[in-house]
Amino acid sequence: MSNNAISTRRSFLKNGALLAAPLAAAAPAAVLTDNGLKVRLAKLEDEAAIRDLHQVWLQRVNAGEVDAAATLFGKTKTFALGRTVRSIAPDHTGEPDAIVVGADGRSATGRFHCAVEIGIAIPLDCTLAQMAHQQGGGFVCRTERRVLKVRYAKASGGWSIAKAEFAPA
Amino acid sequence: MPGTPYPKEQMHRIAYTKLSEQQIADKLSKVIGSGPTSASPLSDAFVGKTIRIVTDNGPALAYKFVRNNRLSVAENGGGAMDAGYGALTLDNVAIFSHMIPGTQRGYAVVVDQGTNLATVFELWFSGYDDKREVQREIYYGYVDQAGQEAPKARHAPTNRIEGKGFYWKQDTGAETLEFYPSAAYSNFVELSRLGGELSFCGPSDYIKINEDFCIYTRTECELSGTFTAYVINLNRIEQVGVRLGFDASDALEYYVFRGKGEWLGQLAQFEKFGDESGAPVPAAAPGQTAAKGARRVYRPFKTMAKMTKAQVDAACAKHTSAFAPRAIAPGANAPAASMAGNLGPATDWLAGKSFTLRYDNAPAIEYRVDDTETLNWRKEGDSNWTKTRYQAYESMPGVILFGHLLEGTPNHDGHAIVADFHQGLMTCFNGYLNTPYYANEAGVKILFGVIEMEGLIPPKYNRHSFTDEMAGRAVSQNYAPGLTSMHLYSTPHSLSWIIFTGSDAGGLEWSGPAAYVKIRDGLFFIYWLEEACNGTLGTILVNVHTMRDVGIGYNCGENGLNMNALGAHERLAGQFDIKRFYQVKASGGVV
């Protein structure tokens, strides 16, 4: 799997065009100018790319691939909970995911209601804890409902994560 | 005069030679042509046959078996090489082994001739810092049948063997007790080779062939590095296997063996019902790819601090604490707060009392207890009292576990004491440092005696005593959320601890010398020494009625000397029938 930041999802054009059709159909086609269609298409492409980026980031976080997940961040690499996060799962009892692309098309925000498993490392103060860590454990885990608030930035044609933090659900 | 069965040095104390690659190659060169030896007649199951074993993501091995000890093998379509081999069978299941000429590699191959499924163990030396330690990679596959579609099924790692224990007697005469309390490690007791005092542990593989047959392996990491693999018939308790490695005198052991055994019992498993997966400890950290042969190995001897007496004295002078709050005692060897999560409340039972502990085999010690955390002690006859911190826990009415350090003693002694004020009896595990191998390793003296106190008349002859009631039992301990282990009281003189994985499978395991004292019916005072490990003296008072334990740990490391309390919620996890192997029977008398 590539560690590169996700660029616009070209496959979306193949599979997503049909999905986009109802949106376009919501307004009379004649009203939309070519430019309006392009803007709308670009927005949908950006949203789809961000959704992909979010999905890849989640996969890496949940696989424990912390360093690989960090490569999806831009220069700032600001992630509030750091390495204590062991998994993030969608919270389907929460509000739907929301991705908002800025008017400039170069920034975006995402809000994702999720269940976060947080693992607090047991101190290496005894043989049992040392052995637990050695076999990949040694964490006290708890799951909390949170809202994952993410800021995205677009540079060189690709989206990356600028900041991710949890807020109370 | 007949000899005892005990070795001069136990396995964890043997300074195994760091064999060089050349030394290993020289020794292997003598068996490549002859193959492994065998005390039993070799099988001719493959003689005259030509087979090709195909493995998933591994080698393809083309064999031509010329005689019952001679084959040619071609790896991955390469040139055929002649080598000696040995094969043994259990019903349809065969195991054979050979080395590859000109290399330090070889194979142990298990073939189910009924299903044509195969498990291939590639084995090699010089793959780790300690070059004598045998490395292994496991490949699953099948015997290729010309014109037939490859089978989809495979042998597979399993936890279905977890919890079993057997007595084995090989055709070599070697007798062992072997316990599988983990799905990733195992525990073995060398009855005939070492007298069976202690148990030892090694990383293990458990592979299911079918409901009746399985494959077990063990590598004696941190010890001789020897590899053992065998097929077990679980109903008839029979085994056929191979052993490859260098013994304590660096002699090459390479033989196939047949054995018969006895079923010793079944311990509980703690995985979710329906979880029969094996290999619960991932070979590599998340996000990393496991190298060939990689596995998680607990290497306590490699990682332990090894200190001199001067270093111990300096460390103790710099930092010594008893029952200190975690914030007060910094460092990795600070009080094991992690093991105190389920510690019950301390008792004030001793506060304000004065008494003397009169040991049968050590000077009596007088006590004046100020409050719940401070006591004064002195050896009988001394004029000065020493004030020190202590903690006490009442495990059963009238039975108090308490501990304190004996500041000023040359070996930095610490006492963990169980005093039964209803019976007037006491037992002390007297921890001390400056032991012969590494000065920071704790040693222990076991002191029995009585309590003298106003209004209490102790017995004249009765004492607490050693017991084998716990031998073979397994008890899980939940010390704190996320920190659960299981003790296996593996012999009357040793104890193993198994760490559970996130899926509650048994994971890494290690073992140490131990002793068991019966305090009351259902109440046992136990110590274990983490020798060639972290050097800790652990003590616990196990109440099998309430299924709680409370204990006192005593540890010296580079951060100083610490005494701390620990406590756990327990569950009984079963028992192996092993006491009969430790009965002293009359022999020919004194010669």
pLDDT digits (tens, 9 = 90+) for A34-56: 788 888 899 999 999 999 999 99
Provide ipTM, 2 decimals.
0.91
Residue A1 has pLDDT above 80, yes or no: no
- Region B490-496: mean pLDDT is 97
Q: Which two tokens stand for residue B559?
A: 């951060």
| Per-residue pLDDT, B340 | 85
Residue type, B368: R
Contacts of B329 in chain A (CB under 8 A): none
In chain B, the percentage of residues whose pLDDT exceeds 70 is 96
The pLDDT, as a whole number, for residue B364 is 98
pLDDT, tens digit, 9 for 90 and up, residues B525-568: 999 999 999 999 999 999 999 999 999 999 999 999 999 999 99
Min Cα distance B194 → chain A (Å) is: 26
Looking at the complex, does the CB of residue A125 fall below 8 Å from at least one CB of chain B?
yes
Separation CA B445–CA B431 (nearest Å): 7
Q: What is the pLDDT of residues B206-258, one digit of tens each?
A: 999 999 999 999 999 999 999 999 999 999 999 999 999 999 999 999 999 99
Global pTM reads 0.88
> DSSP label at A12?
I
Query: Between chains, do B510 and A130 touch, taking CB under 8 Å as contact?
Result: no
Distance from CA of B299 to the nearest CA of A (A): 10
Chain B interface test: which of A135, A139, A140, A142 (most B C-beta within 10 Å): A135
Name which of A1, A72, A124, A127 to mutate to probe chain B: the one with the most chain B Cβ atoms within 10 A of its Cβ.
A127
**A1 contact B CB<8A:** no
Distance CA B485, CA B571 (A): 11
Is it the case that residue A27 has pLDDT exceeding 70?
no
Per-residue pLDDT of A107-162, as tens digits, reads 999 999 999 998 888 888 889 999 999 998 888 888 999 999 999 999 888 999 99
Residue B500 with chain A: CB contacts under 8 Å? 137
A57 neighbourhood in chain B, CB within 8 Å = none
Kindly state the average pLDDT of the residues B417-426: 98
User: What is the reported pLDDT for B587?
Assistant: 59
CATH topology of domain A11-168: Nuclear Transport Factor 2; Chain: A, (3.10.450)
Question: For residues B2 and B588, is the Cβ–Cβ distance under 8 A?
Answer: yes
pLDDT at B154: 98
- Is residue A7's pLDDT more than 60? no
CB distance A141–B482 less than 8 Å? Answer: yes
DSSP line for B444-461:
EEEEEEEEEBTTB---SS
Q: Domain-by-domain residue ranges, chain A?
A: 11-168
**Would you state the pLDDT for residue A80?**
53
Number of H-type helices and E-type strands within chain B: 4, 37
Task: Compute the average pLDDT of residues B5-22.
Answer: 95
What DSSP state is assigned to residue A15? I
Q: Is the pLDDT of residue B482 over 60?
A: yes
Q: Which two tokens stand for residue B274?
A: 């329906």
**Are B400 and B346 within 8 A, CB to CB?**
no
Residues of B in contact with A123 (CB under 8 A): 337-338
DSSP B28: H
Stretch among A71-85, B28-42, B445-459 having the lowest mean pLDDT: A71-85
Mutate to test the interface with B, among A59, A60, A118, A131 (most CBs of B within 10 A): A131
Instruction: Determine the average pLDDT of the residues in B259-263.
Output: 98
Looking at CA atoms only, how far is residue B298 from chain A in angstroms? 7
Phi-psi region of B76 (alpha: psi -120 to 50; beta: other; left: phi over 0): left
Rounded CA separation A56/A5 (Å): 10
For residue B501, list chain A residues with Cβ-Cβ distance below 8 A: 135-137
How many angstroms separate the CA of residue B277 from the nearest CA in chain A? Answer: 16
